[in-house]
Amino acid sequence: MKNDSHENFLDLFVEQGGFINENLIIKFDDEKGFGVFSKDNIPPDSILIDVPHNLLIPVNKVDNITKFKNTFKQKYFENIISNNEQLRHHPLLSNNFELKIINKVLRNNENLNKDFSKKHKEFSHLTIEKKKIELLSLTRAIFIGGYNTKFFMPMMDLVNYHNEGLNYSTSKDGNIYLKSTKNIKKNEEILINYTDATDAISFFLGHGFVDDSYNSFKIKKNELNLNLSTISTFNEKYFSKENNIYTFKEDIIFNKNSFSLNINKFLEIFPLNQRKQMLIKILKKYKNSISIDVEDYNLAKDSIILKNFFKSVELYTNIIDNYLKLIAKK
């Protein structure tokens, strides 16, 4: 399909009420795929893309991606199916050998391992049509908080991910739009951050690709279970207790070289002189829960899924190392 069919779909998108800035162009790269770039300088506060509410496609309303009475939806799905490399190399498509290696690498991280194994099993039981919809949802759809559901967003989903990218906004009439926050130079790629903070491995296992800009790590709520026998008081708003096991009830997020404010509430359960070392100890535990044998690298040399998975593991450990260094300085 390449650029020609995207240009045709762009015309249809505009005919249906969509908007794309006149100084933007869609380009195809053999390595990166499609992206949106500026043809000329674009000033701050300019609308880049605006997707009308009636062109948003709720994922939970899609039952079959080949049979639409609506021409716009039909053309949209034809486009993304023929130009989505992640559909062919998503980790949910792992064969038994690939799944075995992934489970082996994650074996000491119970939460990551259990979560992916569950999703892989559920995916394997879907019909072929449902599998296609699920993969498209994971690789192309975006969650909109105001509607509490995921949508396919025509044209918006051509904007590639970057951790420091723009954030989409929702207008009063339900449109989803992207606005420039600074001067965009000629030939600059437009980038978007469309996901909440998690960790690099979960990001890959969900979205099916690895992005070097990713810089987040998350300790999920109820994941930290501390066996502490010397604690006399604790904050019940943040901790639950069963016997001597204290469980932190909120997510702790490390993102863009900063920490969520509730990290102080978590550390308050430890004596003041132990807090820094306890945080370092916890992060090292997460880092050391993931390990790749040299043999695994050699066995995986012909698997694109495993190559990308190993990249996500390397990024995962590098991100934790980065935050360990920041903590050591504070």
Distance of alpha carbon 152 from alpha carbon 68, whole angstroms:
15
Q: Which residues face 80 on adjacent strands?
A: none
Which of the listed residues 162, 195, 228 is the one where a domain comes to its end? 195
3-state secondary structure 30-64: CCCEEEEEECCCECCCCEEEEECHHHCEEHHHCCC
Please report the DSSP string for 207-238 in residue order: HS---TT--EEEE-TT--EEE-SS-----TTT
**Judgement on whether residues 154 and 220 belong to the same structural domain of the protein:** no
Q: Is 60 exceeded by the pLDDT of residue 132?
A: yes
Once rounded to an integer, what is the mean pLDDT over residues 138-166?
A: 90
259 and 141 belong to one structural domain: no
Helix or strand or coil: residue 26?
A: strand
Distance CA 68, CA 75 (A): 9
Residues 73 and 164 in one domain: yes
- CA-to-CA dists, residue 276 to 67, 126, 225, angstroms: 57, 46, 18
Residue 25 domain flag: yes
| Mean pLDDT, rounded, of the chain | 90
Residue 105: inside a domain, yes or no?
yes
Residue 206 lies in a domain: no
**Exposed e or buried b per residue across 293-309, where buried means at least 16 C-beta atoms within 10 angstroms of its C-beta:** eeebeeebeebebbebb
pLDDT at 117 exceeding the cut of 90:
yes
Residue 159, domain CATH: 3.90.1410.10
What would the two tokens of residue 221 be?
Answer: 């709520």
Looking at the predicted structure, is the pLDDT value of residue 83 above 90? Answer: no
Of 164, 195, 226, the residue at which a domain comes to its end is 195
Asked whether residue 123 falls in the same domain as residue 270, the answer is no
Is the per-residue pLDDT at 185 higher than 60? yes
Indicate if 23 and 160 belong to the same structural domain. Answer: yes
Looking up tokens 């486009």 gives 79
Considering the domain architecture, whether residues 20 and 150 belong to the same structural domain is answered as yes
> What does the block give as tokens for 279?
């945080």
Write down the pLDDT at residue 4: 59
CB 183 within 8 A of CB 42: yes
Please tell me whether residues 29 and 113 are part of one structural domain.
yes
pLDDT digits (tens, 9 = 90+) for 213-235: 999 999 999 999 888 877 767 88
Do residues 286 and 224 lie in contact, with contact meaning Cβ atoms separated by under 8 Å? no
Residue 1 predicted with pLDDT over 50: no
Domain containing 96 equals: 2-195
Beta strands in the chain, from DSSP E residues, in sequence order:
19-20, 24-29, 33-38, 47-51, 57-58, 142-144, 149-152, 160-166, 169-170, 176-179, 189-192, 216-219, 225-227, 239-242, 245-248, 252-255, 258-259
- Is the confidence at residue 193, as pLDDT, over 90? yes
CB atoms within 10 A of CB 21: 21
User: 């290696």: which residue's tokens?
Assistant: 101
pLDDT in tens, 264-277: 999 999 988 999 99
Q: CA–CA separation, 281 vs 286, rounded Å?
A: 9
Give the Cα separation of 65 and 132 in Å (integer).
Answer: 8
Domain end among 128, 161, 195: 195
Model confidence pTM above 0.85: yes
Shared domain check, 235 and 155: no
178 and 223 share a domain?
Answer: no
The answer to whether the beta carbons of residues 109 and 290 sit under 8 Å apart is yes
Q: Residues 138, 253: one domain?
A: no
Residue 251 lies in a domain: yes
Q: Is residue 208 part of a domain?
A: no
- Count CB atoms within 10 A of the CB of residue 58: 13
Residue 202 within a domain: no
Quick check: is 211 in a domain?
A: no
Number of domains in the chain: 2
Q: Is the same domain home to 229 and 189?
A: no
Helix (H) or strand (E) holding 278, with range, is helix 275-288
Domain presence at residue 210: no
Same-domain status, 100 and 40: yes
Burial class (CB in 10 A: 0-12, 13-18, 19+), 327: middle
Contacts of 285 (CB under 8 A, 6+ apart): none
